[in-house]
Amino acid sequence: MSVDLATVKRVARLARIAVSDDEAARMESELNGILGFVEQLSEVNVDGVEPMTSVTPMLMKKRVDAVTDGNKADDIVANAPNSDRNFFLVPKVVE
Amino acid sequence: MTDLTHLTIAEASKKLTAKEFTALELTDAYLSAIDAANGTLNAYTTVTPDLARAQASASDQRIASGSAGVLEGIPLGIKDLFATQDVHTQAASHILDGFKPKYESTVTQNLWDAGAVMLGKLNMDEFAMGSSNESSYYGPVINPWRADGSTENRVPGGSSGGSAAAVAAFLCAGATATDTGGSIRQPAAFTGTVGIKPTYGRCSRWGIAAYASSLDQAGPIARDVRDAAILLKAMASVDPKDTTSVDLPVPDYEAAIGKSLSGMKIGIPREYRVEGMPEEIEQLWQQGIAWLREAGAEIVDISLPHTKYALPAYYIVAPAEASSNLARYDGVRYGLRVDGKDIADMYEKTRAAGFGDEVKRRIMIGTYVLSAGYYDAYYLRAQKVRTLIKQDFETVFHAGVDAILTPATPSSAFAIGDKELAADPVKMYLNDVFTITVNMAGLPGLSVPAGLDAHGLPLGLQLIGKPFEEETLFQVASVIEKAAGTFTPKKWW
C-alpha cells in the first residue's frame, strides 16, 4: 500500500500538524519508503496467532477507586502558555 | 591527586567513604569537566551546578553522620526525557519549550533517595526517536571517539547519545537512559560504554516522557559492568504509579559479577548474520564466542526465525503508540504555543513548529496505520508478528539456553551528517536491527564493549537474557569485559 498527496494531507490534518505543499510532497515519498519497508510483514503467516497485548504476562493491577491526589491546581497550570485563575486559556471555541 | 572524574562509581564510593575527598570536590571536578567540554561535545542541554553542589554538600553531611546511601555523592547525568522537578525537561524537543515539571520521575527519585547528585540534563534524539542524536532540537551530540588520525566528528548513537557521550568523556560518573528500540545499547556500543535495557517492567516508566509505551524501558549507561549493575539496582523498583512495573524484588546485580559460566548455555542466533555486515563485526562476534567458551560456557547454535520482521513490525507498533502519546502536545497545558485563527489552527501550527522532521514522520505513520480501514492490515498484523518474535525467544529459552550473544550494532559510529542516512529514513532505522527484537519481546539486553575496529572505534557485543534475569547478563558481560578490557577515547576536546 502507498499514500498519495491527498492522503498525506488528510493524515496531517488527523494528526493536527500543519504542512505546506512542499512538505507534504516530501513526506509522501518518505512515508511511502517506510510503508514499502513494512510491507514485508505480509509474507508472515499469522493465521491463528494472537496479537500481543502485553509483553509481560501479568494481570492488570487495580487500585481502590478513591481520590488519592489533588489540590494542586497551581502546579497543574504552572507550565501553561496562557492561564487565568487556574484555567487554561485557549482561543474561543463556542460562538 | 588523580583526576576524580576518571574513577568508576565503585571506586569513587569507596574513596568517599574513606574520606579521601568530599562529595563536593567530586561534583566540582565533574562540573569543571563539563564546563570545559560541553561547548564541543554538546552532551548536556542544561547543567545544574547549584543543585549539584547543594546535593553534594548534603551527601557530605550524610557520609559524616554515617547515613550514606548506595550512590551517596555520585554525580550523574539524567537524560532529558526524565521529569526532574523544577529543572529543564524537554525531551530535546522545541514543543516542550520552557517546561519545568512540578514532579519527579520515579527512577530519578530512586537515585536521589540513594544519595546521587544531578549534574544536569543530557541531550538526546527528540522524544527518543533516532539512532544518531541528530534529531535533537539542541543539535547533535559529538562522540568523544574519533577514528585514528582523523578529526571528523562522529555520532554517539541515539537516542541516548548525550548519556553515552557524557559517560565516555568523563562528564558524569554514570547516566540514566531509555531504550525503545536500542536507544541504550546502540549508543553504548558506539562510545565504548556499558548499557543495559532491563526487562520491560523492571524500572518504572512514571515521569518519563512516553514514546512507545509498550516498548519503553529505562536503564543505565556506565563505564563498566559493575557500575551498570550498581546503577540498575538503584533505578529499579515496583511503583504503584506505573501499573506495568513488576512486583518482584530487585536482586543485588553486582553479586553476579565474576561468577563462573560453567554449565551455562549461550545461544548464537544464525539470523543475526546479516547481509552486508562488515567482516570486523563477524570477527568480534567470533572472539566473544571464544571468550565465553574459554570461560566454561557451552555454545549452541540457535534459530530465531522471525528476526527479520522485528524492524518492520517495530515501525508500525512504535509510531502507532507515539502518535497517540504525542497527541498531548497541543500548546494548551505546557510548552510551546503558536497562535492561530481558531483552536484547531493553533494546534496545527504549534505542532508544525514544535516537532522536528523525524517526530512528524513517526506521528504521521502512526496516524495512518491506526486510521479507519488500515488498522487490521498494519497494526493488528504487527502485533501478531510481535507474538511470533516473542515465541522465537521462548522456544530457545525453553530448550535450555541461558543467554544469547549477538553483535550490538551492524557498524561502528558513523559520521555526523551522513548524507546517505539522512536521505533515507529506513537506512537509519537499520542501525537497530540487532537490538529491536529485544524490545519487541520485552527482554533484557546488555551492550558491552568488546574491541575496536580497524579505525580505532569501539564495537560492542549484545547479551540477551530471559525475563527478569538481568543477573545472568551482568555475569556473562563481566567475563567479556575481563577478556576485552575497557576502552577510553583519546582526549581531543
Listed in sequence order, the DSSP H helices in B169-309 are: 185-191, 225-235, 279-294
pLDDT of residue B107: 98
3-state secondary structure of A45: coil
Across the interface, do B339 and A91 touch by the CB < 8 Å criterion?
yes
The alpha carbon of residue B243 is apart from the nearest alpha carbon of chain A, in Å, by 6
Q: Provide the pLDDT for residue B333.
A: 97
Residue of chain A whose Cα is closest to the Cα of B382: A41
Of B206, B14, B170, B210, the closest CA to residue B77 belongs to B170
Supply the CATH number for residue B92's domain: 3.90.1300.10
Q: What is the pLDDT of residue B29?
A: 98
Strands A87-88 and B44-47: unpaired
Quote the pLDDT of residue B2: 67
Cα–Cα distance list, A23 to A8, A29, A30, B187, B409 (Å): 10, 10, 10, 30, 32
Give me the residue from A15, A58, A82 closest to B363, CB to CB. A15
- Residue A70 C-alpha, separation from nearest chain B C-alpha, in angstroms: 13
CB B449 within 8 A of CB B192: yes
- The ipTM, to two decimals, is 0.96
Whether B93 contacts B354, CB under 8 Å? yes
Closest CA to B197 of B185, B207, B213, B210: B185
- For A77, nearest residue in chain B (alpha carbons): B333
B183 is catalytic: yes
> What stretches in chain A show pLDDT beneath 70?
none
Range of the domain at B402: 1-493
Q: Does A68 touch chain B (CB under 8 A)?
A: no
Would you state the pLDDT for residue B142? Answer: 98
* Chain B residues closer than 8 Å to A91 by CB: 339-343, 345-346
Choose among B251, B242, B227: nearest CA to B175.
B227
> Are the Cβ atoms of A15 and B367 closer than 8 angstroms?
yes
Classify residue B201 by its DSSP letter. T
Spatial contact of B324 and B366, defined as CB atoms under 8 Å apart: yes
Query: Cα separation of B203 and B238, whole Å?
Result: 7
Q: What share of chain A is helix, strand, coil (3-state, %, to 5)?
A: 40, 5, 55
The SS3 assignment for B197 reads strand
- A71 touching chain B per CB within 8 A: no
How many CB pairs lie under 8 A apart between chains A and B? 172
Q: Cell 512516553 appears where?
A: B210
Q: Is the peptide bond before B159 cis (omega within 30 degrees of 0)?
A: yes
* pLDDT value at residue A57: 80
The pLDDT value given to residue B450: 98
B351-382 pLDDT per residue, tens: 999 999 999 999 999 999 999 889 999 999 99
Write down the pTM of the prediction: 0.97
pLDDT at residue number B338: 98
**Bridge partners for B78 per DSSP:** B121
Residue partners of B205: CB distance under 8 A and separation at least 6: B213, B216, B217, B218, B242, B244, B245
CA end-to-end span of chain B: 22
Contact B111, B230 (CB under 8 A): no
Helix (H, G, I), strand (E, B), or coil: what is residue A54? coil
**Following DSSP, what letter does each residue of B334-367 receive, concatenated?**
SS-----SSHHHHHHHHHHHHS-HHHHHHHHHHH
How many structural domains does chain B have? 1
pLDDT in 10s for each residue of chain B, 493 residues: 469 999 999 999 999 999 999 999 999 999 999 999 999 999 999 999 999 999 999 999 999 999 999 999 999 999 999 999 999 999 999 999 999 999 999 999 999 999 999 999 999 999 999 999 999 999 999 999 999 999 999 999 999 999 999 999 999 999 999 999 999 999 999 999 999 999 999 999 999 999 999 999 999 999 999 999 999 999 999 999 999 999 999 999 999 999 999 999 999 999 999 888 889 999 999 999 999 999 999 999 999 999 999 999 999 999 999 999 999 999 999 999 999 999 999 999 999 999 999 999 999 999 999 998 899 999 999 999 999 999 999 999 999 999 999 999 999 999 999 988 888 888 888 889 999 999 999 999 999 999 999 999 999 999 999 999 999 999 999 999 999 999 999 999 9
Chain A contact for B147, CB < 8 A?
Answer: no
A13: which chain B residues are within 8 Å (Cβ-Cβ)?
Answer: 348
**End-to-end Cα separation, chain A, in angstroms:** 42
The catalytic residue among B159, B204, B237, B412 is B159
Calpha distance B187→B219 (Å, rounded): 13
